[in-house]
Structures are given as C-alpha cells and as structure tokens.
C-alpha cells in the first residue's frame, strides 16, 4: 500500500504547484517539495526490509485481457533508483527554486518535474513490464515538455522534438519488445520473467525481442548512434539537465538493462550488442566531450560516455560486471548531478557557459570552484573519489571477457582510451573555467551564488567523497541489495576498497590519468585538427531523414488527395470492378439453369427505344435541356417496363418521381450553365467509356446470372400473409411497405424530410437575380389558359391523389404515390400562377406538414406500445364507422397518411424553396435572435 502511495504522491502533487503559484514562489516550491519529501520518507521507511533482501510486491488487476496489472515491486534495484529519483529530486527542487528566473512560470515547471518524477518512479517500481513501458513513455513526454520549457527558443523546441522522436521511437520498440518478452515468458510479471531466463534466451524470438528491447534502452540512455538527442536536450533549464539528463531519465535505459539482466543477459548476442555498443559509446562520447566548448555540452557527452560505460558493464553479462555497473550508476548520479548544478551556477552567475570565454573564476567563485573541483575529480576517476573505485572495477572487468578470447586486448584498450579522454575533459572543465586566464569579460559580474544553490551541490559532492573514501561502509548495503536484484542470484565476490595492490587495472588508470593531462596540454593542436574534420553528426542524419519523410509525406498527400472528385469516383468504381470481377475470375461465370422467358416484338421495340434514349442522354449531355428531355423518355420507358414486368406500383412511383425530378433539373438548369463546355480529352473519354462499359456489363452479367437461376426466396410468405384477417390488404407491395417492413418505410420518409430540410437550409445561401425577359411574342407571364385550367385541376388531381392513396392497400397506389400526385396538383398552381400567388393561398408551412407526417407515422407505429405489441404493429384494431362500414386497417391507414403528408410536405418544401431562390433576401442569421432566447447564454 505504501508503495502505491509513494508512486501516487508525485502525480497527486502535480496539481499543487500551479495552484499554489499565486501564493508566491516559495509556495510553489513547497507544493512540489512536500509531496516529494513525503514520498522520500515513505520510501526510506521501506529501506530496512529491502536492504535485508526482501522483495515487496503489491498488485492490482487492471486489464487482464492484455496481461496488464497495476503491479508494483520494490526490490534492491528499484529501491536504489527510487532513492535516487526522490533524493536528487528533492535537491533539484531546492536548487531550481533559486536558479529559475523570477518571472518564470514556476508552477508549470514543477508540475512537469513532478510528472516526470512520478513516471520515473513508475518505471523503477513496476512489477508488470507493460506498466513499466507505460511509465517509460511518460518520461519521454515529460522530458519533451521540460526541454521545451523555454519555448521561445527555437533550439529548445527542436531539441524537445528530437528527444521525443528518438526516445519515443525507442519507447515504441521497447513496448513491442516487452510484448514479445511477455509472450515468451507467458506473463508480463517481472517475477515470472526474471525466473524464465533459460526459456527466454533459448527462444526463437530471443534475438528480435532483444533488439527491440535494446533499442528502447539505447535510445533512452543516449547510446551511440542514438546519442545526439541528449546534447540537443541541453536547452532545458539546468535543473532539468541535472535531474533528467544525468541522474534519472537517461538512467532508465541502463536501469532496464539491469532490470532484465537475469532474464536476458549472458548470451553472445547480448554481449556483442550491449557490450559493443556500450564500449563504443563510452570512448566515442568521451572523445567528443573533450571538444565541446559549452559546459553543458561537455557534461552531456560525458554523461553519454558514462552511460556507455555502464551499458558495457551490463553487456559483459557477468555477475561481477553487473555489480560494478550498479555501483557506477550510483556514483555517476551523484557526481554528474552535482556537476550539472555547478554548470548551472556558473551560467546563472556569469551569463555564459562557454569554456573559451570563461576562466579564472577561482577568485570570484571560490565555493563553486571547490565543489566543481571535487565533482570533476570524481568524474575523472581520481583516487579517493567514488568514480575511481567504480572505474577501476570497470577496467578490471574488461580484462576478463570470455567471449573476447580471440582479441582480448580490444575492450581494455578502448576502455583505457575512453578513460583517458574522460580525464582530459575533466581537467579542461576545472582548468578552463576556474584557472586559465579569461579571454574576455563574462556577461555578468561573477560571484558565488546563494547558499540555496550551493547546498544541494554540496550534498552531492559530499556523497562522492564519502563513498570514495569508505565505499563499503556507506554504499555497501544499498549496492548489495541493488546488485542482488540485478544479478538475480548469489552475489559474486567483490571489493569496494580503494587499494587492490599493483594490478593491471591500476596501470590502466594511471595511463588514463596521465594521458588525460597530456592530452589537455596539447589541446590547442587537437582543436585545430578537429575543426578541419567534416561535421557529420547523428543530428544531421536525423534531421535529413526527418526532412525527407516530411517532404515525402507532403508530396504524397498533395498528389493523392488532390481534391479531384473524378479521381475518387474512378477509384471507387475501380474498386467495385475489381471486387465484382475477382470472384468470377476465380470461380468462373455460371449461367443458371432456369427456363428463359420468351420475348416478343413489343418488348424488343421498347428495349431498342430505351437503349437509344439512354445513349441519347449520354451523347447530348452537354446540351443540357436536350439531355433532360432524353432522360424523361428513359424514365417513361422504364415505367412501361415496370408495367410490363408486373410492377404497377413501381410504374406509378417511377412516373411521379420522374416528373418531379425533371422539375428539379429544370429549376437547377435555370441557375446553372445551360451548356457544358467540352473538356475531357479523347484519351480520358476512352478511359471513362471503357470503365463505364465494364461497369455496365458487370451489372448486366450479374443480373443475367441471377435471372437464369431458379428462385428460392422468402417472398411466398408475404403473398400468403398479406391478406391476414385484420388489417391485411391485397396489394402485397403496399402491405410490405406499410406493415411487414414498415421500419424501412419510416426511414425512407425520414430521408425525404431530411432532404427537404437540407434543401431549405442550403437555398437560404443561394440567391439568383432574376432578369425579366423582354419578348413580344409570348408576353404574359401567367398564361390565362393555363391559369384557368389549373384551377379545377387542383381539386380534381387532389381527388385523384386521395383515390390513389386510399386504394393503395388493395390496388396499386398508396401514401407515397398519392403524396406525389397531390404535390403535382399544387406544383401546377406554382407553374401556372407563380410562387407568391400560390404560397399566399397555401396557408400552411410545408416543412411543418412534412414533420407532422413523420410524427404521425411514428405515432401510428408507436401505438402498438399501448397494447404491448412490437413497434409498428399494425393489426391493432378495426374501426367501425356508421354508414361507411368497417375500416379494418386503421393503423396502416394512419401510417400511410403519415407517409402521404411527409411526401407532400417534403416535395413541396423542396420545390417551393427552389422556386423561391431568386429573391434576394437578408442572409440567414439566427444568432441575434438566439441570444435573446438562449437559456445557456448568460
């Protein structure tokens, strides 16, 4: 429970600094510091049991299906890292309070810092590896925020993005690798994984899994060739560098190596990958660090180098090396954090971090000088400092690598060379800043900072010295516990004493220290040589790759999604053709065995007419009015065909819809260009014609294939049951529409109303100024004869509409067709007498009629609920009316009436709105009115 609390405290604390910020800087700092301190105290309370070798586990189910538990684990290794995270965290919070500028938003800074702290604790305390990966990515995210904290600085922004990209990529690889790892081990719990070492290392997926996991570790710990993000991350405020980029986050990579050491280490892939990359990084980064002029840059590369050292140690795969690795983690955290803080102090007090500018600060900043000197000594591996012990143990380990039996000198030589450069840059740091004569004046007058900044550094430096002198007594127990969980078994013999006699590693240390000093003395020559070398860095490669991907993405997107609808349609059509054709190509086209229906001359004639009219529509499409007329012919012929194919309802519907469509198209043509310009190239036309021919033929062939097959469908049921005792009808199509499948019909009506409302909305935005034509031959706008005939026709056609509507249940007709006929009667008034005249006399809003229709249909369907029948049940009751007799399909009739009204309302809304378009009206704006009636607005 207290483990969970330790983990939760930083996350809960995130809210405090931003909230307390208004109470002042101190409040914000306390808001960050108190949760940290509490967590640290709680952690320390676990110390005794952990140091005694206990493993504390606390687990809660989270997502069993993924094998993800909220499992926490405190063992020696986790305890060590948690201690570092919280302990150094406390120091950094203190330091930052004094370091950060007065006008910096300190609350946000601490919030990010606590977010990071919590995530880091999560990594080191996770029992479930997926949970660990989860926290892993959060550290990348918080690092992104912290690096980009000085967001006005373009370098900072770039550095933040780069760090996120690299560590994010690594994180994704890591979680992929962990997924494989869990799959191999059969569980994502560390307890299981750590116990399955043999199973894992002998598994087929071991190497790919290892590569993925290592990508995660190497990117995080800035191992070559992924190291370049770390120097770029130095744009972060110095407390961040001190915390994340030296002591904690970058250590997550090596933590992972340590954590999984029992399960993954000891194989030759592990050795060559981890050991090789580590040693290479150690040397390379030390070499580069020597050439850095920026203090933080130097420290960054130094960090990379030391992380390489630790990585190499874990890579060696032996228990002894692992112990040393853990030990160096502790040491490095202490001296590097102190040095970063020192660098921050120098920057803070002088205004620059450039070693070439700085110099001679020993007089102005004596305290700082002492602390820097001690920290650097630890870093350089000078005896009596903690760095010396772990470095010498490291050198010793390089001497005894079974897998390097063929070339045993390689690792020792590279390691020594790395240590040599390490010495060189450490000397440079101290001498360059504090001792050599300054070349120019620093931007600010240098002097020692306040105690608040010095104390945290002092504490860390003290640790370096104390551990350096009495390692066994101070760091011993913690190391034993941490190394114990890293090795995963009995600890090998090791000695943390300063003096092991005259050994080969002592000689190597001596060479490194001496050589380093010599190298520093020769620095001028070396810089000159370095300047002449071409600058090819990982950062350049990264930016090159990123640029390439970006321009590729932009180019590809612009090319593909070019805003051409024609292309999209061609793609859709192409997909459909492929989808339709594939099965036939695979399985063959089989004509059915059913007997064919004999044909007759009339059918052939109508067919020929249809084909000609259809093709005429295509060929005349540029002369639009002609095309409309041809389309009408097609519609008419289709209606005849429907009649012929025993589908009278369809014929009626098609006829009515056709003429309303023609009206629509004519209304549109009034506004749109009357003639389309020629534009397609011949090639394009041929392509389109080919596609069209294939598409059409496909439809025809499928229809042929189906029509020639015998039928076995559910339709007999409808024929059998249409005339059911109550409410049934003889027109089966109508019964299907209003009863069997009333749901579809309700939906269909909704579609119509939606269309009408859409038209209504859209046409509020389209206006067209009508130009009155001057013509003596046909002068009257409303021809008397048309007007006169339209008057009686209104009632007559409405009567017919009623007739068709009422008969629908028994004979062809029904609500939809009746509605269209009624609409046509009304439209005739529009045509004859104009919209204003007609509208004045309608006295009803058609939109309202449409909605009322839908409501009526819905209600008549919902009436069934009252008698505990399913929605849209129509056989509810018969209605007896005197004289008239029994109308036994009341609900059906009401439903159909709803459809009728919706159709009239919808169609008339569309047409009247469309006809009204040319009037110039005020643009639609309800906002003003909305404000008056809007209850939500204050």
Partner 1 sequence: MNHWITLPVLIPFVAAILIEIVGRHHIGARRVLAVCAGLGTIAAGAYMLLRTHQGEIFTYAMGGWEAPFGVALVADGLSALLVTLTGVVSLFAALYSMNRHDTKGKFFHFFLQMQVAGICGAVLTGDLFSLFVCFEIMLLASYNLLVYTGEERGLKAGVHYVILNLAGSALFLVAIGTLYGVTGTLNLADMALRVGELGPEDTALVRAGGLLLMVVFMLKAAVLPLHLWLPNVYGSATAPVAAFFAILTKVGVYAILRVSTLVFGSEAGVAADVLAPYLLPLAALTLALGMLGALGSLRLRKALGFLIVASIGTMLMSIGLYTPEGIAAGLYYLVHSTLGIAMLFLLVDLIARQRGEKDDRLVVARAPAQRALLGLLFFAGAIAVVGLPPLSGFLGKVWVLQASLMTPHVVVVWVAILLTSVLALVALSRAGSLIFWKGEEADDEERVPRATAFELLPVFGLLACLILYTLFSGPAAELCMMIAEGLLSPGDYIEAVMGVRP
Partner 2 sequence: MIGGKKILPRPGFSVVLMITWILAHQSLDPKTLAIGAVASLLLPAFTQHFWPEALRVRRAGLLLKFLGIFVYDIIVANLQVAWLVLGPSSKLRPAFLEVPIVLENPMSITALSAVISLAPGTVAANLSGDRRTLLVHILHTKDEERAITRIKERYEGPLKEIFE
Partner 3 sequence: MITVALNVGFAVMCLCLILNLIRLLKGPSTPDRILALDTMYINTIALILLFGVRLEREIFFEAALLIAMMGFIGTVALANYLLHGDIID
CB of 816 to Na ion, least distance (A): 7
Applying CB under 8 A, which residues contact partner 3? 601-602, 605-606, 608-609, 612-613, 616, 625-626, 628-630, 632-633, 636, 639-640, 643-644, 648, 651-652, 655-656, 658-659, 662-663, 666-667, 669-670, 770, 773, 778, 781, 786, 797, 800, 804, 807, 811-813, 817, 821, 824, 827-828, 830-832, 834-835, 911, 915, 918
Residue 25 binding result from partner 1, partner 2, Na ion, none, given CB thresholds of 5 to 8 Å by partner type: none
Cβ partners under 8 Å of residue 88, min gap 6: 242, 243, 247, 248, 333, 337, 460
CA distance 465 to 387: 9
**Site membership for partner 2, residue 802 (CB under 8 A):** yes
**Site membership for Na ion, residue 33 (CB under 5 A):** no
Query: Which C-beta is closer to partner 1: that of 239 or that of 727?
Result: 727
Query: Where do we find the tokens 């098609």?
Result: 654
Among 221, 281, 486, 829, binds partner 2 (CB under 8 A): 829
Query: Which C-beta is closer to partner 3: that of 411 or that of 830?
Result: 830
Instruction: Report yes or no: 729 and 892 within 8 Å, Cβ to Cβ.
Output: yes
Considering only the stretches 434-442, 632-640, 762-770, 779-787, report the one whose residues sit in contact with partner 2 under the rule CB under 8 A: 779-787
> b or e along 838-870 (b: 16 or more beta carbons within 10 Å of the residue's beta carbon)?
bbeeeeeebbebbbbbbebbbebbebbeeeeee
Residue 838 binding result from partner 1, partner 2, Na ion, none, given CB thresholds of 5 to 8 Å by partner type: partner 2
Query: Which C-beta is closer to partner 2: that of 720 or that of 886?
Result: 886
CA distance 617 to 636: 14
Query: Which C-beta is closer to partner 1: that of 495 or that of 721?
Result: 721
> b or e along 119-130 (b: 16 or more beta carbons within 10 Å of the residue's beta carbon)?
bbbbbbbbbbbb
In this structure, how many other beta carbons lie within 10 angstroms of the beta carbon of residue 900? 31
Residue 814 binding result from partner 3, Na ion, partner 1, none, given CB thresholds of 5 to 8 Å by partner type: Na ion
> What's the DSSP call for residue 294?
B
Query: Which C-beta is closer to partner 3: that of 775 or that of 922?
Result: 775
Instruction: Give the total residue count for the chain.
Output: 938
CB of 706 to partner 1, least distance (A): 3
**Site membership for Na ion, residue 814 (CB under 5 A):** yes
Residue 599 binding result from partner 2, partner 1, partner 3, none, given CB thresholds of 5 to 8 Å by partner type: none
Residue 466 binding result from partner 2, partner 1, partner 3, none, given CB thresholds of 5 to 8 Å by partner type: none
Q: What are phi and psi of 661, to 5 degrees?
A: -60, -40
In this structure, how many other beta carbons lie within 10 angstroms of the beta carbon of residue 698? 15
CA distance 117 to 13: 10
CA distance 887 to 484: 92
Residue 760 binding result from partner 2, Na ion, partner 3, none, given CB thresholds of 5 to 8 Å by partner type: none
In this structure, how many other beta carbons lie within 10 angstroms of the beta carbon of residue 334? 31
Instruction: Report yes or no: 640 and 657 within 8 Å, Cβ to Cβ.
Output: no
Reference 480, options 609, 365, 327; nearest CA is 327
Going from the C-alpha of 750 to that of each of 734, 745, 818, 845, 902, the distances in angstroms are 18, 8, 17, 18, 8
**Site membership for partner 2, residue 783 (CB under 8 A):** yes
CB of 669 to partner 1, least distance (A): 17
**Site membership for Na ion, residue 734 (CB under 5 A):** yes
Query: Which C-beta is closer to partner 2: that of 613 or that of 822?
Result: 822
Note the maximum CA span of the chain: 127
CA distance 86 to 9: 11
Instruction: Report yes or no: 650 and 642 within 8 Å, Cβ to Cβ.
Output: yes
Reference 280, options 312, 328, 317, 323; nearest CA is 312
CB of 818 to partner 3, least distance (A): 10
CA distance 161 to 145: 9
Residue 880 binding result from partner 3, partner 2, partner 1, none, given CB thresholds of 5 to 8 Å by partner type: none
Query: Which C-beta is closer to partner 2: that of 407 or that of 784?
Result: 784
CA distance 266 to 201: 9
Residue 598 binding result from Na ion, partner 3, partner 2, none, given CB thresholds of 5 to 8 Å by partner type: none
CB of 806 to Na ion, least distance (A): 11
CA distance 355 to 437: 11
CB of 737 to partner 3, least distance (A): 16
Residue 102 binding result from partner 1, Na ion, partner 3, none, given CB thresholds of 5 to 8 Å by partner type: none
Residue 813 binding result from partner 3, partner 2, partner 1, none, given CB thresholds of 5 to 8 Å by partner type: partner 3
How many residues sit in the footprint of Na ion (CB under 5 A)?
Answer: 4
* H or E element that contains 879: strand 879-881
CB of 842 to partner 2, least distance (A): 9
**Site membership for partner 2, residue 730 (CB under 8 A):** no
Residue 808 binding result from Na ion, partner 2, partner 1, none, given CB thresholds of 5 to 8 Å by partner type: Na ion
Residue 754 binding result from partner 1, Na ion, partner 2, none, given CB thresholds of 5 to 8 Å by partner type: partner 1
CB of 206 to partner 1, least distance (A): 14
Considering only the stretches 464-472, 529-537, 619-627, 727-735, report the one whose residues sit in contact with Na ion under the rule CB under 5 A: 727-735
CB of 631 to partner 2, least distance (A): 27
Helix or strand or coil: residue 623? Answer: strand
Span 830-889, contacts to partner 2 by CB under 8 A: 838, 840-841, 843, 881, 883-885, 887
Query: Where do we find the tokens 């600058």?
Result: 535
Residue 706 binding result from Na ion, partner 2, partner 1, none, given CB thresholds of 5 to 8 Å by partner type: partner 1
Going from the C-alpha of 55 to that of each of 52, 182, 190, the distances in angstroms are 9, 21, 12
Among 527, 740, 803, 810, binds partner 2 (CB under 8 A): 803
Reference 306, options 370, 381, 373; nearest CA is 381
The terminus-to-terminus CA distance of the chain in angstroms comes to 47
Residue 770 binding result from partner 3, Na ion, partner 2, none, given CB thresholds of 5 to 8 Å by partner type: partner 3
Among 528, 586, 780, 922, binds partner 2 (CB under 8 A): 780
Which is it for strands 885-887 and 68-74: parallel, antiparallel or unpaired?
Answer: unpaired
**What is the chain's Cα-based Rg?**
42
Binding site for partner 2 (CB under 8 A): 777-780, 783-785, 787-789, 791-792, 794-796, 798-800, 802-803, 806, 829, 838, 840-841, 843, 881, 883-885, 887
């Amino acid at each position: 429970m207290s483990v969970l609390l330790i983990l939760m405290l930083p996350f809960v604390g995130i809210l405090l600094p931003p909230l307390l910020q208004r109470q002042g800087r101190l409040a914000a700092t306390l808001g960050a510091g108190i949760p940290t301190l509490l967590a640290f105290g709680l952690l320390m309370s676990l110390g005794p049991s952990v140091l005694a070798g206990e493993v504390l586990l606390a687990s809660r189910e989270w997502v069993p299906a993924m094998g993800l538990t909220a499992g926490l684990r405190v063992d020696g290794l986790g305890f060590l890292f948690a201690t570092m995270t919280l302990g150094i965290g406390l120091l950094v919070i203190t330091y930052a309070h004094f370091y950060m500028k007065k006008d910096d938003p300190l609350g946000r800074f601490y919030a990010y810092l606590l977010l990071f702290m919590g995530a880091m604790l999560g990594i080191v305390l996770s029992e479930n590896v997926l949970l660990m990966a989860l926290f892993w990515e959060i550290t990348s995210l918080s690092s992104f925020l912290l690096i980009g904290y000085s967001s006005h600085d373009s370098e900072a922004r770039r550095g933040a993005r780069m760090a996120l990209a690299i560590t994010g990529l690594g994180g994704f690889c890591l979680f992929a690798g962990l997924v494989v790892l869990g799959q191999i081990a059969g569980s994502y719990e560390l307890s299981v994984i750590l116990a399955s070492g043999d199973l894992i290392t002998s598994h087929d997926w071991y190497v790919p899994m290892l590569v993925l996991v290592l990508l995660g570790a190497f990117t995080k710990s800035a191992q070559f060739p992924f190291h370049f993000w770390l120097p770029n991350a130095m744009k972060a405020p110095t407390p961040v560098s001190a915390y994340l980029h030296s002591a904690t986050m970058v250590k997550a990579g090596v933590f992972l190596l340590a954590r999984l050491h029992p399960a993954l280490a000891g194989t030759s892939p592990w050795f060559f990958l981890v050991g090789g990359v580590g040693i290479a990084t150690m040397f390379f980064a030390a070499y580069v660090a020597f050439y850095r002029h920026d203090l933080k840059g130097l420290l960054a590369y130094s960090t990379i180098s030391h992380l390489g050292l630790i990585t190499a140690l874990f890579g060696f795969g032996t228990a002894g090396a692992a112990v040393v690795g853990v030990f160096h983690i502790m040491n490095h955290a202490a001296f590097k954090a102190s040095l970063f803080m020192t660098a921050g102090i120098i920057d803070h007090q002088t205004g620059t971090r450039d070693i070439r500018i700085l110099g001679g600060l020993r007089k102005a900043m004596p305290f700082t000088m002492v602390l820097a000197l001690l920290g650097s000594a630890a870093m350089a591996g000078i005896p009596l400092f903690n760095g010396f012990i772990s470095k010498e143990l490291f050198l010793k380990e390089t001497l005894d690598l079974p897998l390097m039996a063929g070339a045993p000198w390689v690792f020792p030589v590279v390691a020594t060379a790395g240590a040599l450069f390490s010495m060189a840059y450490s000397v440079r740091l101290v001498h360059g800043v504090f001792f050599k004569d300054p070349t120019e004046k620093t931007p600010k007058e240098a002097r020692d900072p306040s105690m608040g900044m010095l104390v945290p550094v002092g504490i860390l430096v003290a640790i370096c010295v104390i551990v350096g002198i009495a390692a066994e007594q101070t760091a011993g127990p913690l190391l034993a516990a941490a190394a114990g969980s890293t090795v995963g078994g009995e600890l090998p013999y090791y000695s943390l004493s300063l003096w092991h006699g005259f050994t080969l590693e002592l000689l190597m240390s001596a060479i490194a220290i001496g050589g380093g000093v010599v190298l520093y003395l020769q620095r001028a020559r070396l810089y000159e040589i370095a300047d002449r070398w071409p600058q090819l860095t990982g950062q350049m490669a990264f930016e090159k790759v990123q640029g390439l991907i970006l321009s590729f993405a932009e180019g590809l997107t612009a090319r593909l999604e070019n805003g051409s609808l024609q292309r999209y349609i061609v793609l859709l059509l192409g997909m459909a053709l492929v989808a339709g054709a594939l099965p036939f190509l695979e399985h063959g086209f089989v004509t059915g065995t059913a007997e064919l229906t004999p044909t007759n001359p009339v059918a052939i004639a109508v067919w020929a007419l249809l084909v000609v009219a259809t093709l005429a529509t295509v060929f005349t499409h540029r002369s639009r009015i002609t095309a409309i007329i041809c389309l009408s012919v097609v519609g008419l012929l289709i209606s005849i065909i429907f009649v012929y194919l025993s589908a009278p309802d369809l014929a009626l519907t098609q006829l009515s819809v056709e003429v309303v469509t023609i009206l629509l198209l004519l209304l549109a043509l009034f506004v749109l260009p009357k003639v389309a310009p020629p534009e397609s190239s011949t090639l394009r036309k041929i392509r389109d014609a080919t596609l069209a021919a294939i598409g059409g033929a496909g439809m025809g062939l499928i229809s042929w294939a189906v029509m020639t097959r015998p039928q076995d469908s559910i339709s007999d049921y409808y024929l059998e049951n249409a005339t059911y005792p109550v409410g049934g009808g003889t027109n089966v199509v109508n019964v299907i529409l209003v009863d069997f499948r009333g749901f579809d019909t309700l939906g269909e009506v909704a579609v119509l109303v939606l269309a009408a409302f859409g038209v209504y909305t859209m046409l509020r935005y389209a206006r067209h100024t009508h130009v009155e034509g001057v013509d003596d031959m046909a002068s009257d706008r409303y021809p008397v004869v048309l007007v006169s005939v339209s008057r009686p026709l209104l009632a007559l056609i409405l009567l017919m509409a009623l007739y068709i509507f009422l008969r629908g249940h028994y004979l062809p007709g029904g609500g939809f067709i009746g509605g269209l006929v009624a609409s046509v009667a009304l439209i005739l008034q529009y045509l004859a007498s104009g919209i204003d005249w007609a509208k004045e006399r309608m006295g009803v809003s058609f939109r309202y009629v449409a909605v009322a229709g839908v409501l009526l249909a819905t209600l008549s369907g919902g009436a069934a609920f009252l008698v505990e029948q399913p929605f849209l049940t129509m056989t509810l009751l018969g209605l007896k009316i005197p004289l008239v007799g029994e109308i036994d399909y009341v609900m059906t009739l009401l439903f159909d009436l709803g459809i009728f009204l919706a159709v009239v309302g919808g169609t008339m809304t569309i047409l009247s709105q469309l006809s009204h378009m040319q009037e110039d009206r005020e643009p639609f704006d309800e906002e003003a009115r909305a404000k008056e009636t809007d209850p939500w607005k204050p």
